[in-house]
Amino acid sequence: MKKLIVAVMIGTLLTGCSTNKDNPFLQVYDTPFSVPPFDKIKTEHYLPAFREGIKTHQKEIDAIAENSEAPTFANTVEALDFSGELLKKVSSVFFNLYSTDTNDKMEAIANEVTPLLTEHSDNLYLNKALFQRIKTLYDKRSTLGLNAEQIRLLEKYYKNFVRNGAALNDEQKERLREINKQLSLAELQFGQNVLAETNAYQKWITDEKELVGLPENVKQSAAEAAKEAGREGQWLFTTKKASFIPVLQYSENRELRRELLTAYNKLADNGNKNDNKPVINKIVKLRVQKAQLLGYPTWADYELDDTMAKTPQKVYEFLASVWEPSVRKAREEAAELQKMMDAEGKGEKLEPWDWWFYAEKLRKAKYDLEEEALKPYFKLENVRKGVFDLASKLYGLKFKKLENMPVYHPDVEVFEVTDANDSLIGILYTDYYPRAGKKAGAWMNNISEQYIKDNINHRPVICNVGNLTKPTSDKPALLSMDDVETLFHEFGHALHGLLSQCTYPSLSGTNVARDFVELPSQIMENWCWEPEVIKTYAFHYKTGEVMPNELIEKIQQASTFNQGFVMTELLSAALLDMDYHTIKDTADIDVTAFENATMKRIGMIPQIVVRYRSTYFNHVFSGGYSAGYYSYTWAEVLDADAFQAFKETGDIYNSEIAASFRKNILERGDSDDPMKLYVAFRGKEPQPDALLIKRGLK
């Protein structure tokens, strides 16, 4: 029955909007700053716009490939990079909303359009005539008089064509097309299954006695969630982190902690229609086949070829260097927590659902610091203003809230970002609260990218998305420490997109190697707990009083607390990712056994669960980070070393260092090799010890 409904719905979507007059995507945006007219965009507009965008882009590609004139950088590479404007226009809006506000209709469109986009991409990269033009230019690139950015773009296109099968024979190309089609749909299904499982789980509490230990604001959030679901007088908890993490931290009801963490750890692993174990098998097999078809022994070899790390061996060596001190520290932390449990005389052994609870108790005992006591100082609007003020002090940026702008959801706010000289930097959308149609996690998206064409510097439109703590009926959104770091982190990505000063769209903003893209985001986390910065955003939401020095000092003292747990949880996921993607054959995998084998091999302690179990590891099976989850830790080496450049001067707002970071990192996108960009900023390559020292592991 459901398939029939979807089929009818797609048919309606395909025929329901076919004229330029009523489809905003097929017109010039008549909006401030040319932002998308979200108030006019309807679901039925997407598929016609996608089809027209693909059709138009294919005509542009054909014109470039069939050009009778000899290939030049301008008529081939530059023309290609500026092509596909309509397709980018609809894709950026659709996939942003598909992540933030999906529903059955949006999923039907995604299922329909994904194979179309995959086929279109194959048509581009497997075009013989087009590849020959690019190869001709690539082979004589040193004689073309190109600048560094143009050479970078030419080399990037040549490599992308080869990596996408341009050098294969016809039979191999057809096989690649089929693999790409199946792979794109499997990755889509993986993410849909995780979201379906997340939305399906509900833990209802009817007796308030079961909530012993929970702060009032946590209970209030759960009560309001229940009320919204039509069951006033009860409490609702879900597997969304904003809902269950506070339970793990504060609930004295051990069974409730166990049930919620177990439900989270079993997402898409319940033997039902949303079970991702068969999907993982399919994805891994297809990736092995694709990598080997393209001449790489494993998917990791294929993916890492275009990164700073380059090889799986380099990644494994790097992870091992950080894993050993991390898990050693985690064992010490586990022993300390077990000692605390033993003192209670219950005879209980530390389990994963106990760690957060006893760590919170230990933090209180060691540092007289309770995270719940900090939250009243972390009102979301104040934290956001704090990060805006930081960008102003570092880079001279100014932020002005814009009213009456078209938005895709009432939670969204819009800001105009200008430079010190009042010139436009870009437009920033913020969308911070969880809702049923929004995927878990936090991210930055480009709604439109920065580029320069016909001497016009097109400024970007950027979106920061999160799942931070929501306001309640009598309290504003009060953030946890993790929420604060997340806001700073994603804003760092936004700065990378906003401050871009590149000529070509493919090189601008965050279009960089995965193990470099996290540097601009993670460096921002270094500022958020500096005393000078805390005092710019940490004001009590009732009194307006700035956070007292004694609380700030406690935050500083506790800065390396529980870091063995944090790093062990993170690194185990990175190692699991690498193990999946260094598989060389296509034999069936027992996903649970495979995951357990990885944890045993690396010496994972039983009191900690890998940050993302296989069945809900969206980053690597649906989110573009396959064989790349290590990059968060890799980039942390960069960010720890980079922040030292500020600390060494004794001024965390040092204008000269900030100007260099902006000029050499934030503005340059992928216009040069990332290590060259880093050395241009820092004067030397990064020192790995900076990370271990920062985390208190050395």
Please give the mean pLDDT across all residues of the chain.
Answer: 95
- Residue 12, pLDDT > 90, answer no
What CA–CA distance (Å, rounded) separates 203 from 284? 33
Query: What pLDDT is recorded for position 689?
Result: 84
Strand partners, 414: 402, 429
CA dihedral 586, 591, 593, 598 (to 10 degrees): 80
Question: Quick check: is 232 catalytic?
Answer: no
Residue range 58-114, pLDDT digits in tens: 999 999 999 999 999 999 999 999 999 999 999 999 999 999 999 999 999 999 999
Residue range 237-281, pLDDT digits in tens: 999 999 999 999 999 999 999 999 999 999 999 999 999 999 999
SS3 track for 563-626: HHHHHHHHHHHHHHHHHHHCCCCCCCCCHHHHHHHHHHHHCCCCCCCCCCCHHHCHHHHCCCCC
- Tell me the C-alpha to C-alpha distance, in Å, between residue 568 and each of 482, 543, 577: 17, 39, 14
For residue 102, which amino acid is it? T
Q: What is the mean pLDDT of residues 538-559?
A: 96
- Residue 15, pLDDT > 60, answer no
Query: What pLDDT is recorded for position 267?
Result: 98
- Residue 616, pLDDT > 80, answer yes
Q: Give the CATH architecture of domain 375-547.
A: Orthogonal Bundle (1.10)
- Residue 450, pLDDT > 60, answer yes
Query: What pLDDT is recorded for position 687?
Result: 80
SS3 track for 208-236: HHHHCCCCHHHHHHHHHHHHHCCCCCCEE
- Residue 2, pLDDT > 70, answer no
- Residue 14, pLDDT > 60, answer no
Catalytic residue, chosen from 333, 449, 490, 595, is: 490
Q: Which residues are CB-contacts of 231 (< 8 A; sequence separation ≥ 6)? A: 204
DSSP 470: P
Residue range 461-485, pLDDT digits in tens: 999 999 998 999 899 999 999 999 9
Query: What pLDDT is recorded for position 19?
Result: 56
User: Residue 292: phi, psi to the nearest 5?
Assistant: -70, -35
- Residue 364, pLDDT > 60, answer yes
Is 2-167 CATH 1.10.3720.10?
A: no
Q: Which among 163, 398, 186, 414 is positioned nearest to 294, based on CA atoms?
A: 163
Q: Let me know: does 332 contact 343? Beta carbons within 8 Å.
A: no
Q: Do 375-547 and 2-167 have the same topology in CATH? A: yes
Q: Are strands 443-448 and 461-465 parallel, antiparallel or unpaired?
A: antiparallel
Q: Let me know: does 586 contact 285? Beta carbons within 8 Å.
A: yes
- Residue 16, pLDDT > 50, answer no
Q: What is the mean pLDDT of residues 616-639?
A: 95
CATH number for 299-351+561-694 (one of 2.60.40.1080, 3.50.50.60, 1.20.1630.10, 1.10.1370.10): it is: 1.10.1370.10
What CA–CA distance (Å, rounded) separates 267 from 63? 48
Query: Percent of the chain at pLDDT above 70?
Result: 97
Q: What is the mean pLDDT of residues 296-308?
A: 97
DSSP 124: H
Q: What is the mean pLDDT of residues 517-546?
A: 97
Q: Let me know: does 639 contact 523? Beta carbons within 8 Å.
A: yes
Query: What pLDDT is recorded for position 17?
Result: 42
Q: Which residues are CB-contacts of 496 (< 8 A; sequence separation ≥ 6)? A: 444, 509, 510, 517, 520, 521, 665, 666
- Paired tokens of 72: 């030049």
Q: Which residues are CB-contacts of 186 (< 8 A; sequence separation ≥ 6)? A: 279, 282, 283, 286
Q: Which among 441, 380, 691 is positioned nearest to 566, based on CA atoms?
A: 691
Q: Let me know: does 619 contact 625? Beta carbons within 8 Å.
A: yes
- Tell me the C-alpha to C-alpha distance, in Å, between residue 175 and each of 131, 181, 284: 19, 10, 16
Label residue 698 by pLDDT band (50, 70, 90).
confident
For residue 261, which amino acid is it? L
Q: What are the domain boundaries of the chain? A: 2-167, 201-258, 299-351+561-694, 375-547
Query: Percent of the chain at pLDDT above 90?
Result: 94
Query: What pLDDT is recorded for position 149?
Result: 97
Q: Which runs of E-coded beta strand occur in 270-329?
A: none
What CA–CA distance (Å, rounded) separates 73 from 57? 19
- Residue 637, pLDDT > 80, answer yes
